[in-house]
Amino acid sequence: MEIIDLSHQLHTGMQVYPGDPPVVIEPILHAETDWVNVLSVHMGSQSGTHIDSPFHVLNELATLDQIPLQRFIGCWSLVDATGLSPREAIPHERFTKAAYEDGSIVLVRTDWSRHFGTAEYLAHPYPTLESLQYLLDQGVRTIVLDFLSLDMTPENPADAKLENHYLWSKANGIIGENFTNLGKLTGATPFISLLPLNMGASDGGPVRAVALSSLSSR
């Protein structure tokens, strides 16, 4: 099997959602003087490639530790949302053209991850409420994005709205954000894992997401 990495590398100063804590990763112990090498890691729970639990937006909803691990692994369905303009709503037809199975993990591919680390990354496309409700009606509860947020990220952070997050989270849905390399997946890729760190009763956590693909099928 080939392993396809779907995660951005964590590093000091990496791009985060506006207002989130900065990422600082630096050596704190050194083998030459302390016998071992150890890094000090400071970052927000929503840094890099990560999972949102419903608790991320509403206190009364499920925290990360209340979500069954089965929700983070399984087969996927791909929505092709490539070729869109900055801050463009993804056309509803892109979602209705895809095939879904009850409980499948839906990947929304825009290829916007190529802008990660730049100002343009903030101007990502985004799904509409209509499209998200359509997915919920198909039995989907896990959605994965290769861009910053399930909601549009406005030029002025004060104008931010979380309507998409609220809709999805109230349905006990989980959200994967800041994924990458979705363009490397093929129909022969049978399996995806987006298991987050075990951070207890949290709003979410970083993920080392991978997909497995059979080499013989390529």
DSSP bridge pairs for 106: 77, 143
Considering the entire predicted model, what is its pTM? Answer: 0.94
Whole-angstrom distance, CA of residue 35 vs CA of residue 18 = 38
pLDDT at 216: 54
Domains and CATH numbers, the chain: 2-217 (3.50.30.50)
Percent of the chain with pLDDT over 90: 87
Q: pLDDT, tens digit, for every residue of 92-120?
A: 999 999 888 777 899 999 999 999 999 99
Query: How many Cβ atoms sit within 10 Å of the Cβ of residue 101?
Result: 13
Q: pLDDT, tens digit, for every residue of 154-169?
A: 999 889 899 999 999 9
For the cut 80, the answer to whether the pLDDT of residue 189 exceeds it is no
pLDDT at 215: 61
**Phi and psi, residue 105, nearest 5°:** -95, 120
Q: Which two tokens stand for residue 193?
A: 């894992």
Q: Who has greater pLDDT, 157 or 80?
A: 80
Query: How many Cβ atoms sit within 10 Å of the Cβ of residue 124?
Result: 23
pLDDT at 1: 78
pLDDT at 104: 86
Strand duo 204-206 + 24-29: pairing = unpaired
Which residue has 């037809």 as its token pair?
93
Instruction: Output the average pLDDT for the chain.
Output: 94
For the cut 90, the answer to whether the pLDDT of residue 187 exceeds it is no
pLDDT at 102: 75
Q: pLDDT, tens digit, for every residue of 27-59?
A: 999 999 999 999 999 999 999 999 999 999 999
Q: Which two tokens stand for residue 41?
A: 């890691």
Please state the rounded mean pLDDT for residues 200-217: 87
